[in-house]
C-alpha cells in the first residue's frame, strides 16, 4: 500500500516534516522532527532505489491523471541514485546541524533553520522525482527559496550579501529555465518528459527548440555553477552555516547536474550541434575551463571554506566533463563523481565546520598545526582532500578513473592527460591545507581549540569512511552509476538524430 | 592449500604487522610482532608458488595481486631480510610510529615485487611513498619529509599518467616490456626514474635519508630505489636511455660522496651511484645483465643496510655524524667498526665480499655486450668508490683523529643486526653460488678466478696509494655543495624574488603608460581577467551579464 | 727534522704504509704477468692494466670532486632546513 506511493512520499515526507518543524517553534522538537522526517525520507529513497534496480522504472500519476494532463512522477535508474544521495546527505547534515546550530544560528531561528533544511530537501528530491518540466520548476523554486534562507541565516554579515546575490542569480536562472520550458511547451504541447520525447521528431521547425535548449541549459548551468556562471557559489558556501554548506555542496549542485543530464541526453540529445559546434563540445570546453580556472583560484584562497567552494566548482567541471564525453564510461564517471564528490565534499565541509566551531576560524593562516590539537577533524579533512586529488584508495580515484577511461575510449588522449594534469592543481591546493594543518607549529588558535562534540564528528567520520570505502570497494556506487549511464545513453539514441 | 597460498602476497604479513604494531603498547609483544612480520613475509616469499594468482575483478579491471618468479623472489628475499635486520637494529628505538611506518614501507616494497599487474603495482608504489614519508617524518624533520613527499607525489603523478595511457593499449594492465617511445611509456619511465633517484631529481635521496632517525635511515636505504630498479627490470629491460642515465648517476654520486662530510649523506649519494650501476645493466638488457642488476640490487641492500646501521650506531653512540667531528672510534666501537669496514669493502667490491660477486657479474655482462664506454667508466668509478667507502669513511671515522672520551653503549640488538648483515656479506663473498641460486642467469660467471681477483686487488691497492698520497686533500671539511635540489629549493625563491623586483621596476616604468591606457580603454579588461579567477567578488550584475552573454551567444550561434 | 708541509709532505708513518702498499701493488702486477687473462676489449687484458687504470681513475675523480667542490660550494646553511 505504502510502497505504491513511495515516489510521492519521498517528497512529501520532508515537506510535511518542514511544516511540522515550523509549527513546533521549539528548537529541540524541530530537530527531532527533522531527524525523523529525513530518516523516513532516506528509507523511502532506499526502498525506491531497490525497486528500480529490481524492476525498472516506476511511474506514478498524481491523482491518477493521465500524464498528458496531470503530473507524472518517474523514478528510474537515473533519478534513483540522486534521490538516495540527497536523502542520505540530508540525514547526515541534520545530525551534524544539532550541535553546529547552537554556535552558528541565533536560538530563535533554529526551528526555522530545520524547517528550511527539510523544505530544501523536499525541493531537491522533487526535482529528481518529477517527470514534469513545469513541476520541476516549482520544486526548483522551492529548493532555491529555502536555500537563500539557509545561507542568510549564517552569523557572518557577509552571509546576507551572499544570499542576496544568490537570490538574484538563482531567480535569473529559474526565469531562464521557465522561459525554456515555455518554449518547449509551445513546440510540443506537453510538459511531460516522456511525451516531449515522443513528440520531438514531429517538430518541423527546430528554431524554437534550439531557443528552448539555450534557455534551459543556461538556466540550469547557473544553478549548478558551471564556469563562468559560478561566481555566486564561493561566497554562498563560505558564509552559510556549516551544516547548510555541507548540505548544499553535496546536494544542490548535484541535482542541477542531474537535471542537465536529463535534458541533454533524454530531451535534446547531447551530440546535437547548435550551429557549428555541438553542445557536447561547448560543455566540454566550459568543463575544462572550470577544472583549471577554479582549481587555480582555489590555490590562492586563504579561507578553507572558500578554498573548498572553489574546489567544488572545479569538481563540478569533472562531472559535466563526464557528461560531455557522452560514452558509457564517461557518464558513469560523471554519476560516480556526483555521488563521490558529495561524500568527500560533505566530509570536508563538515570537518572544516567542526574546526571553525572549535577553533573559531577557517582561515588557513590561523589554523597552523590544528592537526595536533584536532586530529580527528583534521584527519577527515585530509581523507577528503586526498579524495579530491584522486589518490588511489579513495573514491575520488575511482570516479577519475572512469573519466579517464571514458576520454580514452572516446579517442581523446589529450583529454585524459588534461584530467590528470588538473589533478596536479588539486595536489597544490590540498597540499597547502595539509602542510599547514599537519606540519606547522600549532598557532594560537589551534592550541586554544575546544574539544569537538561527537555529534559533529560522527557524520563527518561516516562520510570520510564512505569515501575510503567506496575507494576500495566501488561495487555499489559503480553499479548505480553505470545503470544510470546506460539508461541515459539508451534513451539518448532514440531521442533525436 | 596451494590456491590459498597463491593468493597470499608476502606483502600482507608486513602490512598486517604494521597495523598490529599500532594496536600494542611498546613492549615484548610489539617487539615480537615486529620481528615476526618480516620473517613470515620471508617464508611466504618462498612458499608462494611460482606463477600468477587467480585474477581479481575490481572496477572491471583484471588484477593479479600476486605473481611470483625468481626475480620477485630475489627482491622479496632482499626486502624481507632488510626489514628483519632493520627491525632488529631498531629494536630499542622508542618510536611506534617509525616501526609501523617501516613495516608498512617494507610491505609496500614487497607488494611491488610481487605485483602481477600495473594497477596493483601502482597502489603498492604509492603505499611505499606514504610509508617512507612517515619514516622520514618519524625522524622529526618535517620540512624534509614534506619535500620528500612532494617529490614522490610528483613521481607518482607521472607514473599514474603513464599508467592511464598505457592501460588503453591492447596490453591493458598486464606487466610487459615497454619501449620508451610513446608518451605513455615515457611518463611511466619518468615516474619510475624519480624513485630511482635519476637526474635531475637525484638530490632527493641525499636530502631526505640523512634526516631520518638513526634507525629510520636503515629502512630508507633498502627499499624505494631498489624497488624502482626492480620495476625497470620488469618494464624497461634493454631501454638504451638507461645506460647514459646510469653512468651519469654513478659519476655524479661518486663526486658528491668524495667530498661529503655527513656520513649518512655520503651513503645516500652512494645509493644513487650504485643504482646507477644497476641502471646501466638494465639498459644493456641481456638476460645476464638483467640478472646481474637484480643480484647487485640484492647485494646492495645487504651492504648498504650494514653501512647505514654502522652510521646509525655511530650517531646513536656519539650524537655526531660528521666525519670532521669524528675519529678514532675503532677501539671504542669494535663491532660497529668491523661492520663499517665489511660494508665499505663490500660496496667497493673487494674480493671475498658480496659486492665483489655482484659487481663482477655486472662488469662481465657489460664486457659480453662489448659496451666499452660503460665498462671503462664503471671500472673507474669502482676504483673511486673504494676511495670513499673503503678508505675515506673508515679512516676518518675509525682511525684518524682524536677519539671521544666515552661513547654511549650500544644495545645487543644493534650489534647483533650488524653482525648478521656482515655475515651475509661475507658468506656471499666466499660462496658466490649462494647468490647464483637466487639469480640463476649469473651462475655462469666465474667470479673467484685468479685473474679476476688480481684485477680487483690491483685496482683497489692503486686507489689506496692514491688515497695515501692525497690524504690531506680528502680530509673532511664542513661545506655545502650545490646539488640538483637547488632547482626546487632555491631556484623558485630566487625567481620569485627576481620577478617581484622586476614587477616593481616594470610598474615604475609602465605605471604612467598604464594609467593613461586605463582611462582610455576603460577598466574592464584587466579586471575581467582577475574576476574570472577571483570569483565570489563578482558583482551580482556581472554574474547576470555573464549568464545573459552565454545565453545570447548560444542563441546567436543557433540562429546562424 | 722539519715538520712536513704541503699536501705531498708525508709524515713517516704514512710513508711506511705507502711504501708497503707500493710493494704490494708491484707484487700484484708481477703476478699478473703469470695468469691467464680474459680481456674483452684488448687493453683490459694486458698485465698491470688495473693498477695504472685504477690509480689514474682515482686521481681523476679526486680532482673532479675537489674541482666541483670549489666551484659549487655555497656558504651557510640551507634556507628551509
Report the alpha-carbon distance of residue B28 to residue B15 in Å, rounded. 19
Contact by Cβ (8 Å): B153, B134: no
Size of the A and B interface in Cβ pairs below 8 Å: 127
Set of cell numbers at residue B230: 626492480
Q: Three-state DSSP class for B65?
A: coil
Residue C3, in any domain of the structure: no
> Do A384 and A290 share a structural domain?
yes
More confident residue, B486 or B71: B71
Contacts of B among chains (3+ CB pairs under 8 A): A, C
How high is the pLDDT of residue B522?
Answer: 44
pLDDT band at C79 (very low <50, low <70, confident <90, very high): very low
Q: Is B62 strand, coil or helix?
A: strand
Which of B535, B479, B424, B439 is CA-nearest to residue B85?
A: B424
Q: Which three cell numbers stand for residue B202?
A: 637525484
Are B222 and B305 contacting, i.e. CB atoms less than 8 angstroms apart? yes
pLDDT score for B425: 95
Domain, as residue range, for A24: 1-159+227-259
Residue A305 CB neighbours (<10 A): 24
- Asked if B546 is an interface residue toward chain A (Cβ–Cβ < 8 A), one would say yes
Domain membership flag for residue A208: no
B2: contact with A, CB 8 A cutoff:
no
The residue among B245, B202, B244 whose CA lies nearest residue B224 is B202
Question: What 8-state DSSP symbol labels residue B480?
Answer: E
Residues contacting B374, CB < 8 A, separation 6+: B243, B246, B247, B280, B284, B366
Q: Inter-chain contact B165–A221, Cβ cutoff 8 Å?
A: no
Position B464 scores a pLDDT of: 93
Residues of C in contact with B144 (CB under 8 A): 81
- Higher-pLDDT residue of C21 and B443 is C21
Q: For cell 548544499, name the residue.
A: A248
Terminal CA-to-CA distance of chain B, rounded, Å? 72
Question: What pLDDT does residue B339 have?
Answer: 96
Q: Say yes or no: C63 contacts chain B, CB-CB below 8 A.
A: no
Q: Which residues of A touch B121 (CB under 8 A)?
A: none
Does residue B180 sit in helix, strand or coil? coil
**Is C6 a member of any domain?**
no
Q: In sequence order, what are the beta bridge partners of A274?
A: A277
Asked if residue B535 has pLDDT above 60, the reply is: no
**Given an 8 Å threshold on Cβ–Cβ distance, is B379 in contact with C57?**
yes
Q: Residue B467: its chain C contacts at CB < 8 A? A: 58
Pairing type for strands B56-58 and B67-68 reads: unpaired
**A397 shares a domain with A367:** yes
In a domain, A49, yes or no: yes
Tell me how far apart the alpha carbons of residues A255 and A142 are, in angstroms, rounded to a whole number.
13
Closest residue to C74, CB basis, from B256, B372, B482:
B482
Query: What would you report as the CA-atom Rg of chain B, rounded to the nearest whole angstrom?
Result: 27
Residue B478, helix vs strand vs coil = coil
Distance of alpha carbon C31 from the chain centroid: 20
Structural domains in chain A (count): 2
Cell digits of residue B535: 570569483
Q: Is residue A106 one of the residues assigned to a domain?
A: yes
Do β-strands A58-61 and C73-74 pair in parallel, antiparallel, or remain unpaired?
unpaired
A309/B540 Cβ within 8 A: no
Nearest residue in C to B373, CA atom: C41
Lowest mean pLDDT among A303-317, B415-429, C35-49: C35-49
| C-alpha cell of residue B332 | 671504542
Q: Which residues of A touch B183 (CB under 8 A)?
A: 413, 417
| Cα–Cα distance, B414 to B91 (Å, whole number) | 8
Interchain proximity C69–B472, CB inside 8 Å = no
Q: Give the residue ranges of DSSP H helices in A410-474.
A: 413-434, 444-447, 454-472
Q: B554 and chain A: CB distance < 8 Å anywhere?
A: yes
Mean pLDDT of C4-28: 81
Q: What is the length of chain A?
A: 497
Do B and C touch, 3+ Cβ pairs within 8 Å? The answer is: yes
Q: Which three cell numbers stand for residue B553?
A: 551567444
The reply to whether A384 and A236 lie within a common domain is no
pLDDT averaged per 10 residues, chain A (length 497) = 83 93 89 94 93 87 80 90 94 92 87 94 94 93 94 86 90 93 88 85 76 90 88 89 92 93 84 70 90 87 90 94 91 94 94 90 86 87 93 89 90 88 87 83 81 86 93 87 88 41
For residues A463 and A383, the answer to whether their CB atoms sit within 8 Å is no
Residue A167 in any domain: the answer is no
Of B533, B542, B551, the CB nearest to A218: B551
What is the DSSP secondary-structure string of A297-327?
HHHT-SBHHHHHHHHHHHHHHHHHHHHHH-S
* Cβ–Cβ gap C64/B255 under 8 Å: yes
Co-location of A252 and A278 in the same domain: no
The model's pLDDT over B272-282, given as tens digits with 9 standing for 90+, comes to 999 999 999 99
Q: Is residue A251 part of a domain?
A: yes
- Tell whether A358 is covered by a domain: yes
Q: Examine residue C5 and state whether it is found in any structural domain, yes or no.
A: no
User: Minimum mean pLDDT among A191-195, B537-541, C21-25: which range?
Assistant: B537-541
- Annotated domain spans of chain B: 1-151+202-228, 237-479, 490-521, 523-560
SS3 B539: coil
Residue B410 grid coordinates: 650500544
CA dist B118 and A278 (Å) reads: 37
- Contact partners for chain A, using 3 or more CB pairs closer than 8 A, are B
DSSP string, B198-225: -TTSTHHHHHHGGGS-TTHHHHHHHSHH
Chain B positions touching C21 (Cβ under 8 A) are 461, 464-465, 468
pLDDT score recorded for residue A374: 86
In chain B, positions 475-534, which contact chain A (CB-CB < 8 Å)?
A: 531-534
> Which percentage of chain B shows pLDDT scores above 90?
58
Residue C2 lies in a domain: no
Tell me if B533 and A392 make a contact (CB, 8 A cut-off).
no
Closest Cα in chain C to B455: C50
Contacts with A142 (C-beta within 8 Å, 6 or more apart), sequence order:
A119, A120, A122, A123, A126
pLDDT reported for residue B420 = 96
- Tell me whether 0.90 is exceeded by the ipTM: no
Radius of gyration of chain A (CA): 21
Size of interface B-C (CB pairs under 8 A): 151
- pLDDT > 70: percent of chain B: 93
C-alpha cell of residue A142: 522551492
Of C7, C28, C81, the CB nearest to B458: C28
The alpha helices in B48-182, defined as continuous H runs, are 70-89, 96-113, 118-138, 142-167
| CB atoms B379 and C53 under 8 Å | yes
Whether residue B50 lies within 8 A of chain A, CB to CB, comes out as: no
Return the HEC string of B519-544: HHHCCHHHHHHHHHHCCCCCCHHHHH
Q: What is the DSSP letter of C65?
A: H
Instruction: At A372, list the grid cell.
Output: 595536533
Instruction: Please tell me which residue of chain B has the smallest CA distance to A217.
Output: B551
Q: What are the helix and strand counts (H, E) for chain A?
A: 21, 4
Q: Which chain C residues in 10-49 lie under 8 Å from chain B, judged by CB atoms?
A: 10, 14, 17-18, 21-22, 24-25, 28-29, 31-32, 35-38, 40-41, 44, 48-49
* Cα–Cα distances in angstroms (integers) from residue A126 to residues A7, A297, A464, in the given order: 9, 33, 27
List CB contacts of A478: < 8 A, sequence separation 6 or more.
A332, A336, A398, A402, B59
> Can you list the alpha helix ranges (DSSP code H) found in A240-374?
242-261, 279-289, 295-299, 304-325, 328-359, 370-373
**Rounded to 5 degrees, what are φ and ψ at B50?**
-65, 150
Q: Do A218 and B554 touch (CB under 8 A)?
A: yes
User: Does residue C80 lie in a domain region?
Assistant: no
User: In this structure, are A409 and A447 located in the same domain?
Assistant: yes
Q: What is the number of helices (H) and of strands (E) in chain C?
A: 2, 1
Q: Which residue in A228, A275, A310 is closest to B557 by CB distance? A: A275
**A60 phi, psi to nearest 5 deg:** -130, 120
The alpha-carbon gap from B551 to the nearest alpha carbon of chain A, in Å, equals 6
pLDDT of residue C24: 92
Rg (CA), chain C: 19
B chain contacts of residue C52, beta-carbon cutoff 8 Å: 462
Cell 575544462 found at:
A288
Of the ranges B59-63, B174-178, C17-21, which one carries the lowest mean pLDDT score? B59-63
Q: What mean pLDDT do residues B428-437 have?
A: 91
pLDDT in tens, B477-531: 877 777 888 777 777 777 877 877 776 776 676 666 656 654 554 444 455 555 5
Residues 6+ apart with CB under 8 A from C25: B458, B461, B462, B465, C51
Provide the 3-class DSSP secondary structure of residue B253. helix
Nearest to C14 among B454, B463, B468 (CB): B468
Cβ of B554 and A214 within 8 Å? yes
Q: Do C40 and B384 touch (CB under 8 A)?
A: no
Over range B258-285, report the average pLDDT: 94
| Segments forming the whole domain that contains residue C57 | 12-72
Number of compact structural domains in chain C = 1
Nearest to A420 by CA among A435, A433, A407, A434: A407
User: Which residues of chain B does C17 touch, with a Cβ-Cβ cutoff of 8 Å?
Assistant: 468
Total number of residues shown for chain C: 81
Chain B residues whose beta carbon lies within 8 Å of the beta carbon of residue A435: 146
Q: What is the rounded CA–CA span in Å between residue C37 and residue C45?
A: 5
Q: Are A352 and A305 in contact (CB under 8 A)?
A: yes
Confidence of residue B195 (pLDDT cuts 50, 70, 90): very high
Q: Examine residue C1 and state whether it is found in any structural domain, yes or no.
A: no
Amino acid at each position: 500500500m505504502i510502497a505504491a506511493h513511495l515516489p510521492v512520499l519521498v517528497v512529501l515526507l520532508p515537506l510535511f516534516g518542514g511544516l511540522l518543524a515550523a509549527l513546533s517553534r521549539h528548537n529541540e522538537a524541530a530537530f527531532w522532527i527533522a531527524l525523523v522526517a529525513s530518516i523516513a525520507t532516506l528509507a523511502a529513497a532506499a526502498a525506491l532505489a531497490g525497486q528500480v534496480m529490481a524492476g525498472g522504472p516506476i511511474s506514478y500519476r498524481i491523482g491518477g491523471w493521465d500524464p498528458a494532463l496531470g503530473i507524472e512522477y518517474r523514478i528510474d535508474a537515473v533519478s534513483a541514485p540522486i534521490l538516495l544521495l540527497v536523502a542520505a546527505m540530508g540525514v547526515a547534515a541534520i545530525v551534524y546541524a544539532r550541535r553546529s546550530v547552537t554556535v552558528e544560528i541565533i536560538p530563535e531561528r533554529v526551528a526555522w533553520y530545520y524547517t528550511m533544511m527539510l523544505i530544501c530537501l523536499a525541493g531537491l528530491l522533487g526535482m529528481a522525482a518529477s517527470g514534469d518540466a513545469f513541476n520541476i520548476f516549482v520544486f526548483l523554486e522551492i529548493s532555491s527559496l529555502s536555500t537563500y534562507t539557509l545561507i542568510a541565516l549564517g552569523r557572518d554579515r557577509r552571509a546576507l550579501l551572499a544570499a542576496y546575490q544568490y537570490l538574484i542569480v538563482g531567480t535569473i536562472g529559474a526565469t531562464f529555465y521557465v522561459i525554456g520550458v515555455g518554449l518547449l511547451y509551445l513546440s510540443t504541447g506537453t510538459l511531460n518528459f516522456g511525451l516531449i520525447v515522443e513528440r520531438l521528431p514531429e517538430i518541423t521547425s527546430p528554431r524554437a527548440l534550439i531557443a528552448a535548449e539555450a534557455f534551459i541549459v543556461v538556466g540550469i548551468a547557473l544553478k549548478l555553477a558551471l564556469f563562468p556562471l559560478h561566481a555566486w557559489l564561493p561566497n554562498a558556501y563560505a558564509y552559510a552555516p556549516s551544516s547548510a554548506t555541507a548540505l548544499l555542496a553535496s546536494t544542490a549542485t548535484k541535482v542541477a547536474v542531474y537535471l542537465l543530464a536529463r535534458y541533454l541526453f533524454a530531451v535534446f540529445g547531447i551530440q546535437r550541434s547548435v550551429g557549428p559546434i555541438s553542445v557536447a563540445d561547448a560543455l566540454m570546453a566550459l568543463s575544462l575551463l572550470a577544472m583549471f580556472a577554479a582549481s587555480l583560484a582555489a590555490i590562492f584562497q586563504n579561507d578553507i571554506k572558500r578554498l573548498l567552494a572553489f574546489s567544488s566548482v572545479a569538481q563540478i567541471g569533472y562531472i559535466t566533463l563526464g557528461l560531455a564525453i557522452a560514452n558509457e564510461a564517461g557518464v558513469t564517471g560523471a554519476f560516480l563523481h556526483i555521488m563521490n564528490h558529495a561524500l568527500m565534499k560533505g566530509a570536508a565541509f563538515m570537518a572544516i565546520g567542526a574546526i571553525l566551531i572549535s577553533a573559531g576560524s577557517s582561515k588557513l593562516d590561523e589554523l597552523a598545526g590544528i592537526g595536533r590539537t584536532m586530529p580527528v577533524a583534521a584527519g577527515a579533512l585530509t581523507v577528503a582532500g586526498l579524495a579530491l586529488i584522486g589518490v588511489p584508495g579513495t573514491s575520488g580515484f575511482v570516479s577519475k578513473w572512469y573519466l579517464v577511461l571514458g576520454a580514452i575510449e572516446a579517442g581523446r588522449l589529450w583529454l585524459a592527460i588534461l584530467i590528470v594534469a588538473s589533478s596536479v592543481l588539486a595536489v597544490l591546493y590540498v597540499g597547502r591545507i595539509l602542510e599547514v594543518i599537519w606540519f606547522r607549529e600549532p598557532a594560537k588558535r589551534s592550541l586554544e581549540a575546544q574539544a569537538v562534540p561527537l555529534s559533529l564528528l560522527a557524520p563527518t567520520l561516516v562520510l570520510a569512511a564512505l569515501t575510503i570505502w567506496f575507494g576500495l570497494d566501488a561495487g555499489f556506487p559503480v553499479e548505480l552509476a553505470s545503470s544510470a549511464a546506460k539508461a541515459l545513453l539508451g534513451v539518448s539514441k532514440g531521442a533525436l538524430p | 592449500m596451494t590456491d590459498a597460498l597463491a593468493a597470499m602476497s608476502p606483502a600482507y604479513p608486513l602490512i598486517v604487522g604494521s597495523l598490529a604494531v599500532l594496536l600494542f603498547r611498546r613492549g615484548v609483544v610489539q617487539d615480537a610482532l615486529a620481528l615476526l612480520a618480516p620473517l613470515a613475509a620471508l617464508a611466504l616469499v618462498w612458499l608462494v608458488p611460482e606463477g600468477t594468482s587467480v585474477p581479481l575483478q575490481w572496477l572491471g579491471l583484471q588484477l593479479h595481486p600476486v605473481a611470483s618468479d625468481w626475480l620477485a623472489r630475489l627482491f622479496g628475499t632482499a626486502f624481507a631480510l632488510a626489514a628483519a635486520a632493520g627491525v632488529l637494529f631498531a629494536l630499542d628505538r622508542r618510536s611506534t610510529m617509525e616501526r609501523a611506518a617501516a613495516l608498512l614501507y617494507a610491505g609496500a616494497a614487497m607488494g611491488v615485487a610481487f605485483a602481477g599487474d600495473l594497477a596493483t603495482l601502482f597502489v603498492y608504489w604509492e603505499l611505499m611513498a606514504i610509508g617512507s614519508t612517515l619514516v622520514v617524518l618519524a625522524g622529526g624533520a618535517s620540512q624534509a619529509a614534506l619535500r620528500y613527499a612532494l617529490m614522490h607525489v610528483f613521481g607518482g603523478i607521472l607514473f599514474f599518467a603513464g599508467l592511464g595511457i598505457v592501460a588503453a593499449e591492447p596490453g591493458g594492465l598486464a606487466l610487459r616490456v615497454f619501449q620508451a617511445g610513446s608518451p605513455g611509456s615515457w611518463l611511466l619511465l619518468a615516474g619510475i626514474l624519480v624513485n630511482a633517484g635519476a637526474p635531475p631529481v637525484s638530490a632527493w635521496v641525499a636530502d631526505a635519508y640523512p634526516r631520518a632517525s638513526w634507525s629510520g635511515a636503515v629502512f630508507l636505504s633498502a627499499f624505494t630505489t631498489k624497488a624502482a630498479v626492480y620495476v625497470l627490470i620488469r618494464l624497461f629491460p634493454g631501454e638504451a636511455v638507461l645506460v647514459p642515465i646510469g653512468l651519469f648517476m654513478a659519476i655524479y654520486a661518486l663526486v658528491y660522496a668524495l667530498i661529503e662530510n655527513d656520513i649518512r649523506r655520503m651513503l645516500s649519494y652512494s645509493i644513487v651511484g650504485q643504482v646507477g650501476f644497476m641502471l646501466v645493466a638494465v639498459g644493456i638488457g641481456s638476460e645476464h645483465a638483467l640478472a646481474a642488476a637484480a643480484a647487485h640490487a640484492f647485494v646492495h641492500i645487504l651492504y648498504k643496510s650494514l653501512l647505514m646501521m654502522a652510521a646509525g650506531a655511530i650517531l646513536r653512540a656519539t650524537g655526531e655524524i660528521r666525519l670532521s667531528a669524528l675519529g678514532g672510534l675503532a677501539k671504542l666501537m669494535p663491532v660497529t667498526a668491523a661492520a663499517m669496514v665489511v660494508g665499505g669493502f663490500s660496496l667497493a667490491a673487494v674480493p671475498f665480499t658480496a659486492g665483489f660477486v655482484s659487481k663482477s657479474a655486472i662488469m662481465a655482462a657489460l664486457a659480453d655486450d662489448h659496451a666499452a664506454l660503460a665498462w671503462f667508466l664503471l671500472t673507474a668509478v669502482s676504483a673511486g668508490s673504494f676511495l670513499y667507502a673503503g678508505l675515506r669513511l673508515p679512516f676518518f671515522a675509525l682511525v684518524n683523529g682524536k677519539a671521544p672520551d666515552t661513547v654511549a653503549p650500544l644495545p645487543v640488538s644493534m650489534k647483533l643486526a650488524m653482525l648478521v648483515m656482515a655475515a651475509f656479506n661475507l658468506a656471499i663473498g666466499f660462496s658466490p653460488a649462494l647468490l647464483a641460486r637466487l639469480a640463476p642467469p649469473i651462475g655462469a660467471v666465474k667470479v673467484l678466478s685468479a685473474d679476476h681477483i688480481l684485477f680487483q686487488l690491483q685496482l683497489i691497492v692503486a686507489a689506496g696509494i692514491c688515497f695515501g698520497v692525497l690524504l690531506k686533500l680528502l680530509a673532511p671539511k664542513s661545506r655545502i655543495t650545490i646539488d640538483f635540489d637547488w632547482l626546487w629549493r632555491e631556484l623558485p625563491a630566487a625567481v620569485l624574488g627576481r620577478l617581484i623586483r622586476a614587477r616593481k621596476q616594470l610598474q615604475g616604468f609602465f605605471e604612467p603608460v598604464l594609467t593613461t591606457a586605463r582611462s582610455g580603454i576603460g577598466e574592464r579588461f584587466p579586471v575581467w581577467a582577475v574576476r574570472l579567477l577571483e570569483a565570489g567578488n563578482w558583482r551580482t550584475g556581472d554574474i547576470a551579464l555573464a549568464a545573459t552573454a552565454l545565453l545570447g551567444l548560444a542563441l546567436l550561434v543557433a540562429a546562424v | 727534522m722539519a715538520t712536513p708541509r704541503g699536501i705531498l709532505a708525508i709524515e713517516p708513518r704514512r710513508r711506511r704504509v705507502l711504501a708497503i702498499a707500493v710493494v704490494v701493488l708491484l707484487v700484484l702486477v708481477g703476478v699478473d704477468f703469470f695468469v691467464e687473462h680474459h680481456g674483452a676489449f684488448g687493453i683490459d687484458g694486458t698485465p698491470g692494466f688495473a693498477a695504472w687504470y685504477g690509480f689514474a681513475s682515482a686521481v681523476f675523480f679526486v680532482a673532479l670532486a675537489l674541482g666541483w667542490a670549489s666551484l659549487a660550494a655555497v656558504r651557510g646553511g640551507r634556507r628551509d632546513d
